[in-house]
Structure 1
Amino acid sequence: MRGTAFAPQLTDGDVSEYLAQLEMLSKGYREESEIWPVNIPEFDTVAVHSRPIAPETFKLVLAAIRQRQCLKARYVSLSSGSEGFRAILPHALASDGHRWHMRAFDFDNQRYSDFVLSRLEAKGFADTPSGDLPRDVDWTSTIQLVLTADPAMPEPRRERLESEYRMRKGALRVKIRQAMLFYYLRFYGFNPHDLEGGAMRNVSSFHLKVANMEEVEKWLGRRN
């Protein structure tokens, strides 16, 4: 039996570590004999079904990032009819919590974009067009998203929400890459496409508010 002086040595004792083990078990990454929790409770998780990432394409993406080479790739976008092969120079991977993306410079559109890996087909390397590329400012810039509890909530509920999100002085300050802002907003229950008066409607499904909305709109590219 664990004594009062017990302190974990192999973990930090955080509940998220235990739940991560259950996540790996549910997704088939581990067998029950390979995770450390014992007497596993009955549990279930939401299974997200999406198109699988082609292993050969993923290998080429990793090689292109390591070797700083262009990919000859075709990307099937739901918002664009362009499905031809083009030169794309990847430099990083990013997850929105639901899908994995490739962060890359798109020579056709002359900009950095995120490409969902499951929609990408790579056919090898391509010659890198001559000339210097612009810096991926959105990826290298760190910004701060400031969230507060909805002030319209009754005080006891607002205090519980502030405690749940470990807010300090009534605010949760999240340091993130500017390129990841859209994904973080969705993670916290906001819809960046839901506009009101030309700006994102400041309504979250989790009863949160964005405190620095003007900055957020600027970072989203909708204000100067």
Structure 2
Amino acid sequence: MSGDGSPAKMRWSIERRLEFIEFRLFWEGRVNRSDLVDFFGISVPQASADLGRYQEVAKQNLAYDKRAKSYLVTREFKPVLLELDAQRYLAQLRLIANGILPKEESWLGWVPPYATVPSIARSVDPVKLRKVLDVIRTGSAIHVEYQSLSRPDPLWRWLTPHALAFDGFRWHVRAWCHTRNRFQDFVFARMLSFDETRPDQINAEHDIEWQRFLTFRIGPHPDLETAKRNAIELDYGMQQGEISVETRISLSFYFMHRFGLDIDPKDVQPERQHIVLLNREEIDEAQKRARKETAALASGYIHKKMRNRMIGYDVYLLERLSGTM
């Protein structure tokens, strides 16, 4: 242990095993050597050594019970390696339920009875994902056959991706569209096929809607009865009747739609829409301002692209004329 009372620097693999010990102690109240042996595939002596190391770091957190043949959590338990987070525990349950994380790969030993509302999977082709990642990494544009909702047939267009985004239900590619001359989101699953790539100079810093964040102030529906308002405030952990949530401007539409914040409270019954947006005018103004700034910054790129096209066309004409002389 270091002089300031924190654990001394150690190898990552050992640190992970000590964190595992602390995780099991807090959430399940016990841990033993076989837990470490089974999960990490280490030897029994190594597991004993890890438990000994943890005792050196946090002796007050566990005590060996001969009858249970396990180390049990003590009333004096205080985490020294992990920041206790209920979301981390519950997230593992969700991942197991969705088939993303095999139970044996989670840190959960005993799993409580639980159920989750099923989600409809939005598939992402791993080969296409790898291709998009390559294009983002190299700062290139890619020719994509894309099926939009506004057209009956797919359209080939050049895109310059610079980021990935998840809206709570599906993954998008954030990209400059060379057809519409603007930054926008493209649903991964609607990218039907890819063609060639080429270098591109679009500056992702000019995507103000991506670069800038908004803070949403959210509170209970004003027409809820007092008891129901109190319940909603508890549900969302509100302080003084509201919570603040930050998100990128480019994701704000999805955020508002997902939680019903895009609906005017006057147009919906409070029993159906428990929470409302408290700073709607501020959000609307910030969204409009970001779109305007993005368009202004992108105009230089558009003009440069058009100028290069004109220069290229002039060169083409000169070559044709010189060839006929």
Could you tell me the TM-score, scaled by structure 2's length?
A: 0.60
Is 1:150 paired with 2:150?
A: no
**Mapping of residues 1-224 of structure 1, within 5 Å:** 1-9=72-80, 11-81=82-152, 83-128=154-199, 135-190=206-261, 192=262, 205-221=272-288
C-alpha contact (below 8 Å) 1:203/1:209 kept by paired residues? no
Q: Distance in 1 between matches of 2:183 and 2:128?
A: 19
Question: How much is the aligned-residue C-alpha RMSD, in angstroms?
Answer: 2.9
Q: Which has the higher contact order (CA 8 A, sep 6+)?
A: 1
What secondary structure is seen at the aligned counterpart in 1 of 2:73?
Answer: coil
Q: Which has the larger displacement, 203-212 or 18-27?
A: 203-212
Could you tell me the TM-score, scaled by structure 1's length?
A: 0.84
The alignment covers a number of residue pairs equal to: 219
What secondary structure is seen at the aligned counterpart in 1 of 2:143?
Answer: strand
C-alpha contact (below 8 Å) 2:176/2:202 kept by paired residues? no
Task: Specify the code of the residue in structure 2 equivalent to 1:36.
Answer: W
Aligned-pair distance for 1:111? 0.7
Aligned-pair distance for 1:68? 0.6
Q: Distance in 1 between matches of 2:124 and 2:232?
A: 37
Aligned-pair distance for 1:84? 2.1
Tell me which structure has the larger Cα radius of gyration. Answer: 2
Q: Distance in 2 between matches of 1:16 and 1:85?
A: 42
Aligned-pair distance for 1:129? 6.2
C-alpha contact (below 8 Å) 1:105/1:112 kept by paired residues? yes
Q: Distance in 1 between matches of 2:204 and 2:101?
A: 42
> CA offsets per residue over residues 72-121 of structure 1, 9 Å max, x none?
11111223335122110000000011101100000100111111111113
Q: Which structure has greater helix proportion?
A: 2
The 3 A distance-change label for structure 1 pair 91 and 128 is same
Q: Which structure has greater strand proportion?
A: 1
Aligned-pair distance for 1:184? 1.2
| Structure 2, unpaired ranges of 5+ | 1-71, 293-325
